[in-house]
A and B are shown apart, each in its own frame.
Chain A
Amino acid sequence: MAPQPYLMIYVKPDKCDFCGACVGVCPEDAIELKEAEINIIEERCTNCRKCVWACPWEVIEFHREGITELPKILEALNDPVPF
């Protein structure tokens, strides 16, 4: 699978247990896991979602709209003005 135009995989900060289940199923070697740090390597990730399914704690999310916009979206949701 070719790399996708933008990254859609988002690891929720501060919630990851660094267990490595996601790394074990990643076919692209696109996840870097240190003692207490996890990074998705954007150039390799194909957004296949296997890591999302493997995560036992629902820490990894798939966002079709891409994750570059995500911090902005989350911030917007923090202080919603519904009407």
Chain B
Amino acid sequence: MQLTYDIIVVGGGPSGSTAARYAAAAGAKVLILEKDRDIGYPVRCGEAVSHSGLIQFIEPDTRWIASTVTKFKMFAPNGNFINPKLDDWGYVLERRIFDYELAKLAVKEGAKVVTKAYVYDLLRENSTVVGVRALIKDVKTEIRAKIIIGADGVESRVGKWAGIDTTCHIRDMESCAQMMLSGITIEPETLEFYLGDEVAPEGYLWIFPKGKNSANVGIGISVEKAKKKAAIRYLEEFVAKRFSNAAMLTHIAGGVPAAKTLPKLVAHNVMLVGDAAHQVNPLSGGGIITGMIGGMLAGQTAAEALQKNDLQFLKEYEKRWQKRLGWRHELFYNIKNSSSMLNDETLNKICNKVSQLPVEKQTLGAIFRTALWNEPSVLLDIAKVFIS
């Protein structure tokens, strides 16, 4: 295999593939290294995306769409719910196939992909990073590149090796568990969310349909809250009550860095994208589209830096991200952390007011106004975040 590239992308998820795609499209020689033996597997994701987010990158295709969702149902801690109309619609993906497609788009632009390639260190010469050290199908291999893009997920170590502290505070890390349940009765076009300290403290529980009788049923709670009781315990309790007869086809664990984006995304010639960069929307925990946007910006910036022969230019990526999504994520993060906004009492109050409106008036606008009267605009912000 070829051992010299312009750019090495560590990680073949949506952010990594998208970074590779845009860098390769701009003429760079790109290699994606994926530690698992398959791109797209194992899936560790709730798999929901918005239509408007998705079409920035790829045309929706039934081969990797499990469900189209048009409704949104949010349960307050006291069990009342609101069912606002949505301007946009969304999809629950089959990430296993979706990730393949994204990798193929990168390959189409000229990128190379190697799987079962575990990067265990950066390669340095005179303290400059000149590539990576990897176990490629268990053989120690040195691969050289001018730029390294760390798309290595929540477990990122590329950033740490380059001197960027990627550690997520336990208050911000969401400890997640999910089951794919089949043989259940659900509303096939509705994303359901359950809030409150009893069901999912400092997080939420979700039901995302996958076809008519199956769904991803998952939970994320802050690690701070998980000290006392693990995510899987909360999920098991909910599933026992709501879906006692379900067949569990898969169960997965995961960590979601629901934090502000790292202040530093570039260290000399090393860049971070996606979960590794904490580019997840901190309120919704959604990170597929946001990570792909990060990947695109990083890939484009890297290619430009190579053309200009100026690695200093990579810093531009931080500015571009901040301008595009970073500033919003700061806002969402502050909402999430304002306890008066997200406590059970407030959520119940807002939900109650809105549910008293006639169904046709239960719109996002109505939630917004109600929320404003009741002080915080939390529910609107949450709703907006989930669907945009």
Contact = CB atoms under 8 A, between A and B. Distances in A.
Contacts of A59: 253
B244 to A, nearest CB: 21
Nearest to A19: B253
A25 B253 contact: no
Interface stretch (A48-56, A63-71, A74-82): A48-56
B232 interface: yes
29 contacts: A17-B252, A19-B252, A19-B255, A20-B153, A20-B155, A21-B173, A21-B175, A23-B155, A24-B154, A24-B166, A25-B170, A27-B167, A29-B160, A32-B120, A35-B35, A35-B36, A50-B170, A50-B223, A53-B223, A53-B226, A54-B255, A55-B175, A55-B253, A56-B226, A57-B231, A57-B232, A58-B230, A58-B232, A58-B233
A71 B227 CA distance: 25
B177 interface: yes
Interface in A1-56: 17-27, 29, 31-35, 50, 53-56
B252 to A, nearest CB: 6
Interface in B131-187: 153-157, 160, 166-170, 173, 175-177
Q: How large is the interface on B (under 10, 10 to 19, 20 to 34, 35 or more residues)?
A: 35 or more
Interface residues of A, number: 25
Contacts, number: 96
Contact of B254 (A21, A27, A31, A58): A21
Given A24-B167, A35-B116, A19 B232 contact: no
B320 interface: no
Given A25-B173, A33-B155, A34-B118, A55 B35 contact: no
Given A23-B157, A56-B254, 16 more contacts: A17-B252, A21-B254, A22-B255, A24-B255, A25-B223, A25-B255, A34-B35, A35-B35, A53-B175, A54-B170, A56-B175, A56-B176, A56-B226, A56-B231, A57-B230, A58-B230
